[in-house]
């Protein structure tokens, strides 16, 4: 399965209320992220961390919104760089930073999918659907908006126009367990597939995942995976500012990533909301490293037993 992967860091923390995500990409590198993938035979090019210059503030009728000018700049930059990474490698990885990042990465890889004449599908692993618009966010934290923007569900000016919105019916959300009323209404309106934690408790992770992958394969689609740390239960992955109890277990998450790797359908990956300031001796960064290695081909028999 080994191929090429470009790694891009997007140290964004303007979309969230809890500082610390800016350190996420470097924390993953310190945890041996690149080495874990190269040991699996992948050719990895780490292009470092992106940055934006200072911006003059932009006002919005929703007074709760903050850092709107910076958010717009990040979306524009990431759309271009994600497109290039998807064009130039087999499975690029975008390391955040908060989930605002996906408002750039998804349109970028969607542009590449359109160029190839194939539909883009998104597996959204998150406690939250992030379906707020600029008008409906009460917190003003723009990491709650990327999926609405990626699907073209509202006017997001001054964000750049989204030239390649994805079909909401091509989205599968798993692990959802915190939804605001405006987001619930948007889920109902769009028909986005949502597998909340109750559904996972009832059916397990494999039934909805296999059904979604079958749809991707039947459509000859390209799959983007967006992995938020709060998809996981905070008992073993505490380094996130939006902890919601009752998340995916360690083994459920590994199974999902292993199954995605087996499918051969994944063409790009987001890793977001890692906040090392809230971690315990790098514990969550190491978990994300190992989950990513599972997606990239590592299996149980490849793991050596360690004595402590």
Tens-digit pLDDT profile for residues 165-186: 999 999 999 999 999 999 999 9
pLDDT given for residue 305 in this prediction: 47
Report whether pLDDT(18) > 90: no
Output the CA angle 77-79-84, nearest 5 degrees: 100
Token pair of 289 as six digits: 């490293």
pLDDT given for residue 56 in this prediction: 93
Token pair of 255 as six digits: 């199974």
Report whether pLDDT(92) > 50: yes
Tens-digit pLDDT profile for residues 207-239: 999 999 999 999 999 999 999 999 999 999 999
**What is the average per-residue pLDDT within 199-207?**
93
Strand order in the sheet with 171-176: 43-49, 4-10, 93-96, 266-272, 222-228, 120-125, 171-176, 193-196
Counting residues of the chain whose pLDDT is more than 90, the rounded percentage is: 89
Report whether pLDDT(307) > 70: no
Report whether pLDDT(252) > 80: yes
pLDDT given for residue 302 in this prediction: 56
Report whether pLDDT(146) > 70: yes
CA within 13 Å, CB half, 30 = 11
Counting residues of the chain whose pLDDT is more than 70, the rounded percentage is: 97
Report whether pLDDT(308) > 80: no
pLDDT given for residue 303 in this prediction: 53
- Active centre residues (catalytic): 99, 126, 128, 130, 143, 228, 230, 273
Q: Round the average pLDDT of the chain to a whole number and report it.
A: 94
Lowest mean pLDDT among 87-96, 187-196, 246-255, 297-306: 297-306
Cα separation, 53 vs 72, in Å, equals 12
CB 12 within 8 A of CB 52: no
Cα separation, 54 vs 13, in Å, equals 14
pLDDT higher at 15 or 304: 15
CB 130 within 8 A of CB 270: no
**What is the average per-residue pLDDT within 234-257?**
91
In three-state form (DSSP H/G/I as H, E/B as E, the rest C), the secondary structure along the chain is CCCEEEEEEECCCCCCCCCCHHHHHHHHHHCCHHHHHHCCCCEEEEEEECCCCCCCCCCCCCCCCCCHHHHHHHHHHHHHHHHHHHHHCCCCEEEECCHHHHHHHHHHHHHHHHHCCCCEEEEEECCCCCCCCCCCCCCCCHHHCHHHHHCCCCCCCCCCCCCCCCCHHHEEEEEECCCCHHHHHHHHHHCCEEEEHHHHHHHCCHHHHHHHHHHHHHCCCEEEEEEEHHHECCCCCCCCCCCCCCCECHHHHHHHHHHHHHHCCEEEEEEECCCHHHCCCCHHHHHHHHHHHHHCCCCHHHCCCCCC
Cα separation, 234 vs 238, in Å, equals 5
Tens-digit pLDDT profile for residues 134-143: 999 999 999 9
Report whether pLDDT(300) > 80: no
**What is the average per-residue pLDDT within 89-115?**
97
**What is the average per-residue pLDDT within 253-272?**
97
pLDDT given for residue 222 in this prediction: 97
């Amino acid at each position: 399965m080994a191929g090429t992967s470009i790694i891009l860091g997007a140290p964004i923390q303007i979309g969230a209320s809890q500082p610390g995500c800016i350190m996420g990409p470097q924390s993953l590198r310190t945890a041996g992220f690149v080495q874990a993938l190269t040991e699996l035979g992948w050719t990895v090019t780490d292009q470092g961390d992106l940055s934006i210059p200072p911006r003059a503030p932009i006002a919005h009728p929703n007074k709760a919104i903050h850092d709107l000018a910076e958010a717009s700049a990040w979306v524009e930059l990431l759309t271009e760089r994600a497109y290039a990474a998807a064009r130039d490698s087999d499975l690029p990885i975008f390391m955040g930073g908060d989930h605002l990042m996906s408002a750039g990465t998804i349109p970028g890889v969607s542009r590449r999918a359109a160029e190839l004449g194939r539909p883009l599908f998104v597996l959204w692993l998150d406690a939250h659907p992030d379906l707020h618009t600029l008008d409906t966010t009460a917190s003003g934290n723009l990491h709650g908006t990327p999926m609405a923007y990626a699907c073209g569900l509202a006017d997001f000016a001054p964000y750049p126009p989204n030239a390649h919105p994805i079909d909401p019916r091509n989205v599968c959300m798993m692990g959802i367990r915190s939804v605001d009323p405006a987001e619930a209404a948007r889920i109902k309106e769009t028909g986005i597939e949502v597998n909340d934690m109750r559904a996972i408790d009832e059916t397990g992770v494999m039934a909805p995942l296999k059904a979604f992958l079958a749809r991707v394969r039947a459509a000859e689609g390209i799959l983007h995976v967006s992995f938020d740390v709060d998809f996981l239960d905070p008992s073993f992955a505490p380094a996130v500012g939006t902890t919601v109890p009752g998340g995916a277990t360690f083994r459920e998450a590994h199974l999902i990533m292993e199954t995605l790797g087996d499918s051969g359908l994944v063409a790009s990956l987001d890793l977001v909301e890692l906040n090392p300031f809230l971690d315990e001796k790098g514990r969550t960064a190491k978990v994300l490293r190992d989950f990513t290695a599972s997606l990239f081909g590592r299996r149980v028999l490849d793991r050596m037993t360690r004595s402590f």
